[in-house]
Amino acid sequence: MMLAFSVALLRLPLFGQPMADAHARRRAFLHLHARQRPGPVLVSTSPYLESGDRHGQSVDGHRKDTKDVPTSEMTSIIDAIRAALRSSGEGEISISAYDMALVALLKNLDGNHGPQFPSSIGWITQNQLPDGSWGDGTTFGDRIISTLACVVALTSWNIQTNNCNRGLLFIQENMWRIADKEHDWMPVGFEIALPSFLEMAKVMGLDIPYDEPALKEIYAQRDRVLTQISRDVLHDMTTTTLNKEDAVHLDWEKLLRLRSSDGFILRPPSAEDTATNQTGDKKCFDYLDGIFQKFSKTIPGIYHDVVERLWAIDRLKRLDISRQFRSEIEDCLDYIYSHWTPDGTCEPKKSQGKDIIDAATTEEVFNFEQYMASKAAAVNAALDRALPLRRPESLVESMRYSLLAGGKRVRPVLALAACELVGGDVAAAVPVACAVEMVHTMSLVHDDLPCMDDDALRRGRPTNHVAFGESTALLAGDALLAFAFEHVARELGSGGVPVARALRAVAELGGAVGADGLAAGQVVDLSSEGNPAVGMATLEYIHVHKTARLLEAAAVCGAIVGGGTEEEVESIRRYARRIGLLFQVVDDVLDVTCTSEQLGKTAGKDLTADKATYPKLMGVDGARVYAAELVGSAEAELDRFDADRAAPLRHLARFITDRQH
């Protein structure tokens, strides 16, 4: 059973207290299903952004607003989610009362009277909630159907009357609540499974309000679903509709043709349980028994939870809180991608039936990761070729030491993506991408010098002046700046880019470095240290020039080389300015929330230098709100472009927001 995940989840009791037992509580977080997906809308009030960029952000219809959430509660929420993600193991979801009931209904295959898995009965009797229900204590839909299933299972063996009576009382007193619950928060397949168990309960003579008005809509939903499904199709191919095959009354002898050689059909464990119950098939039983034994004689809700993890990542990104879980998300992505096939993916990793929504969501998560990796690799190779080791070796080694030190390569990727956005040949923008990275590297080398920020650590290694000496580092930075313009002028000139475009790109890059760009921002930054009068206007001036201007130049140069129109270039300029400021806002937040080991550079250096930063002027939470505004207004500038071409730049804005170093 999967649950929709939205901001409303933050109000659940699970996330209002510390995470004492992560494994026992995983179900509420990881059983996810997104039914609504409106696009993000945000509000921007920056004095350096054009007026009119006002948008309100929502996720699944809920406005995203965390400013009123106490810090202690937010910390508990983050800890709970992190613990849930880290407890995923080999893809198992926490124990499902519903699926335990299905297993308990399975008769002994040897023909003896009694359950095949008697320990499942014991689990059911020992895990009834205080109010008489079974299932997820925070999710009514799961509780009502799990309670009904457990009562039916116990009654089928005529045992544990007290447990049954308490469960029946819960059903009698709460069945009417179905009408009050939002459809998006009901378990997937609820409208099919609930009527099936009600029919079984009626045959057993259980005292349940079968004529409850709330059930009429459930039956109507079931009828609508089943009338739209061809039984022939269900018998001929694996589809995700079989998630509730136990309630659809299919020909199980025909369905056995769809199982794999090891007994897998579609959605373990419920599919295999029902197949075993209906046919006695040994392969299905062996597969089910393997799961039962693996999980200490219990049954998880689904195994393995490939796309359950995917929904979790998707929700975290849409809620704009994924930056808190970078390493956990990377682990999930590694797991999901290891089960990706050319045909797509589905809930459990062995499924032959691939779901278009699951596959599309997987593509959405993975394409940008692959895009960034491929573009960064291309830039790294081009930089290595552009600057081979030569005399004087000490100078060139110093240049290569910083230039080829890795990093996110956001600026060169931005140049390549902007070129693609306007329909240009990305190969033509590679010289621009390399030149931008050379200029950026120069700025880092100089910024780390004792006369500037006097940093000892950069990208997890000693800074250039620590490794090569202050004078060599200074000259290496100068040489990188000069070589950037030499390289871009030479390569654009020989690469077929029209002269007018090449000259305009070179001029744009030059403007980003000098007295109207990086140098201007740096000098104001230095002069502002220790000045308590520095406010938002000065802070924005510093970072529009020092940080955003080079990102802006990267994007604009890529668009110019790609042949973009004037209107397209200016839209891209506004987009890049916003993500440039976003980059700095996130950088400032990380500086006060992460360690030096996490960042790969000295943490807290701005605080030590008494610099004005966004967290210092706005608070950490205020800075994060501002970052969200910048993301929304940046993405709005991309609306005029082809959606597929704009996708990398939309993801880039979120990547900058989510980064952890």
CA atoms of 252 and 369, how far apart (whole Å): 42
Residue 30 has pLDDT above 50, yes or no: no
Backbone angles phi, psi at 641, to 5 degrees: -100, 165
User: 564 — phi, psi (to 5°)?
Assistant: -70, 150
Whole-number Cα distances in Å, 45 to 49, 62, 64, 541, 615? 7, 21, 17, 15, 17
Residue 32 has pLDDT above 90, yes or no: no
Q: What is the pLDDT of residues 124-151, one digit of tens each?
A: 999 999 999 998 877 888 899 999 999 9
Domain 97-294, what architecture?
Alpha/alpha barrel (1.50)
What are the pLDDT digits (tens) for 78-128?
Answer: 888 888 777 655 544 567 888 888 888 888 777 677 888 888 888 999 999
Where exactly does CATH 1.50.10.160 map onto the chain? Answer: 97-294
> Minimum mean pLDDT among 26-30, 44-48, 208-212: which range?
26-30
Q: How far, in Å, CA of 341 to CA of 59, rounded?
A: 30
pLDDT for 247-293, tens place per residue?
445 555 555 555 544 444 444 444 544 554 555 556 666 666 666 66
What stretch(es) of the chain map to CATH 1.10.600.10?
366-658
Q: Which of 172-181, 324-333, 353-362, 605-614 has the least mean pLDDT?
A: 353-362
pLDDT higher than threshold 80 for residue 437: yes
How many Cβ atoms sit within 10 Å of the Cβ of residue 515?
Answer: 10
Two structure tokens written together for 309: 């993890």
Q: Who's near 65: CB < 8 A, 6+ residues apart?
A: none
Contact by Cβ (8 Å): 332, 90: no
Q: Residue 75 has what pLDDT?
A: 80
- Architecture of the domain made up of 366-658: Orthogonal Bundle (1.10)
